[in-house]
Structure 1
């Protein structure tokens, strides 16, 4: 991964002052005072957005950096401290991101070994992989009731090779809804980068502000959600187009037609947690029908069926569970491997259990 570029607040101000000065000299010779004032105001309004995504809020950053060690020992006290430093949802999420960037290192050993890291222990370990970064940010947002979604998808990061097919999703990030807007955040990439040093993968801490509240067109050139609804556009980019192209303009030549992301998002948001997972996994599998996605979908169907049967009180509940188990068997049969065979057997056993409960309930009704 290349070294990350960062423009400080002071550098932005210095650049603005130089450009402003040149512009001001020209205006002196052309406009009267009133016209000069109006022109400068217009110029500054145009200039500011150019640097908006590169601008570090020093006040918020220093506040996050000054977090007392005692406050960072558990999630609640950490979030409580950071929450007080912001005036709105946007600032509070920005504070969360600054603290993560300053305090959490990328776990290169876990990345190379494939070992899973427990996000609940990340405040003690002070390191993790992308899943942990994204889960930590989500937990921080959830603690203060800020809508935050964990997104699994495809990325053009350290292990990316152009035109090489993605065998599976390989990265995690977040989408937050702050002050009425959905915004993209990669808490991992905003914290630094990795490089091979003397044959060893090494993490270098360096804030990359562009990954916090990222411009969608910039972000989608390197991040593609596994579930296309999280591209937040009515013309989602295809996986092949993402893999083969570098610019958003080229990617948009190949998109999914007849797609309305607002409708798909509404369906997702009104569902409960397990149905949200099913909806997203079904969409992820349809977007890229590989066996790993099918396995995840089938496992989640099984969990749904088990929950219905476990909570069942009436015959209709057991009948609903049987329907979900039959759908589960259909999915597992497509896997055509030992995992599928094992869980088809478990599903059939549970169907027999449900049928026995239905029979018992009917017998009780008959005798009463």
Structure 2
């Protein structure tokens, strides 16, 4: 999934009191410490983390140190952005991002998440629809094009986009490094003006902004927020329900929520079905020594095929070329699954 980067911003955004505690912290010394990290630590994640958190007194300052270092030291990969192909794109690991010192936003977000994980701070990488470089006003959002982080500090959820915090792409398609703290613990009502997550719970708004209002523009978003205060479900309950599920069920939970939220993008749910099918097929033993084991494998294969067929029906709804890779992959997997199922049924006879 390719990630787009915002143009450099010149305006000032004002945060609400919902993150006043975090705003009361003076981060200037933390930022300076992060920027002075010795180069000998830059490619050693463990040593870099230990250095960055050394002066921090709380998790807010730890995350800020990570944010500042990543924003100052990782560049946006313009070449990958321009040459992106779904079939060939391989996300970089956090270690690879450190080595290459450049990434698209998935790499930025996963590096921040890994840093948080190593110091016991809960973080998720969230995919969604952005209004960054290449955004066309009022166009339909059919493909997720960006990724960022949600983190939990002292029981509260916060939004961070370290990619947009690092700079932007100018009109000449060049990356311009410019530290931007606006996307550090951003007020959700500000963040949603140009970031809309696939699953609405990650808006961190009790009344999540619908896709229609988001697509129409900033005026409509603000009007919706003003009209719907206090009349919707609590997002924290949805996140709690999500976190209580086993990891393999979390993907379906979020994917189904994403599809219900925006039916114009069925690919996210199709991928979830395909991933589940592949996991089921890989769980079937190569050697089946009894009739009972063959029957069990047959049932598993039938379930996997059912998931693949559901995925195929979903991607058929995509009329442009954006899902061509998924369509081909699902079709190939269905053929393999049908062949395996035929062999298993013959073995039962």
TM-score norm. by structure 2 comes to: 0.79
Which residue number in structure 2 is paired with residue 271 of structure 1? 245
From the CA coordinates, give the structure whose radius of gyration is larger.
1
Output the CA distance in 2 between the equivalents of 1:311 and 1:265.
38
Contact 2:267 2:315 in 1 (8 A): no
Deviates more, 1:100-109 or 1:226-235: 226-235
Instruction: Report the Cα offset of residue 288 of structure 1.
Output: 2.0
> Cα gap change, 1:310/1:232 in structure 2, threshold over 3 Å: closer, same or farther?
farther
Which residue number in structure 2 is paired with residue 250 of structure 1? 223
Contact 1:277 1:300 in 2 (8 A): no
Contact 1:64 1:82 in 2 (8 A): yes
Which residue number in structure 2 is paired with residue 201 of structure 1? 173
2:105 pairs, out of 130, 136, 144, with 130
> Cα gap change, 1:216/1:325 in structure 2, threshold over 3 Å: closer, same or farther?
same
C-alpha distance after superposition, 1:292-314 (max 9, x if no partner): 32431332221332354359998
Instruction: Report the Cα offset of residue 206 of structure 1.
Output: 1.3
| Structure with bigger RCO (C-alpha 8 Å, 6+ apart) | 2
> Cα gap change, 1:70/1:284 in structure 2, threshold over 3 Å: closer, same or farther?
same
The alignment status of 1:292 with 2:267, answered yes or no, reads yes
> Cα gap change, 1:298/1:132 in structure 2, threshold over 3 Å: closer, same or farther?
same
1:181 pairs, out of 151, 156, 162, with 156
Output the CA distance in 2 between the equivalents of 1:271 and 1:136.
25
2:42 pairs, out of 72, 81, 102, with 72
Contact 1:302 1:347 in 2 (8 A): no
Output the CA distance in 1 between the equivalents of 2:174 and 2:115.
27
The alignment status of 1:118 with 2:92, answered yes or no, reads yes
Contact 1:333 1:341 in 2 (8 A): no
Output the CA distance in 1 between the equivalents of 2:253 and 2:296.
21
TM-score norm. by structure 1 comes to: 0.75
Instruction: Report the Cα offset of residue 52 of structure 1.
Output: 7.1
Instruction: Report the Cα offset of residue 353 of structure 1.
Output: 6.3
C-alpha distance after superposition, 1:241-291 (max 9, x if no partner): 101120442243689x97553332122112233322222222222222234
Q: SS where residue 218 of structure 2 aligns?
A: coil
Q: CA RMSD in A?
A: 3.3
> Cα gap change, 1:321/1:231 in structure 2, threshold over 3 Å: closer, same or farther?
farther
> Cα gap change, 1:179/1:258 in structure 2, threshold over 3 Å: closer, same or farther?
closer
Q: SS where residue 79 of structure 2 aligns?
A: helix
Q: Of Structure 1 and Structure 2, which has the larger fraction of its residues in helix?
A: 1
Output the CA distance in 2 between the equivalents of 1:259 and 1:346.
43
Instruction: Report the Cα offset of residue 56 of structure 1.
Output: 5.9
1:90 pairs, out of 56, 60, 65, with 60
C-alpha distance after superposition, 1:123-172 (max 9, x if no partner): 12111111111111111111222110000001111111211111211111
Instruction: Report the Cα offset of residue 50 of structure 1.
Output: 8.7
The alignment status of 1:216 with 2:188, answered yes or no, reads yes
Query: Please, which runs of 5 or more residues in structure 2 have no aligned partner?
Result: 1-5, 317-326
> Cα gap change, 1:251/1:306 in structure 2, threshold over 3 Å: closer, same or farther?
farther
Output the CA distance in 2 between the equivalents of 1:203 and 1:54.
32
Pairing of 1:336-355 with structure 2 (within 5 A): 336=316, 337-352=327-342
Aligned residues: 316
Output the CA distance in 1 between the equivalents of 2:345 and 2:205.
45
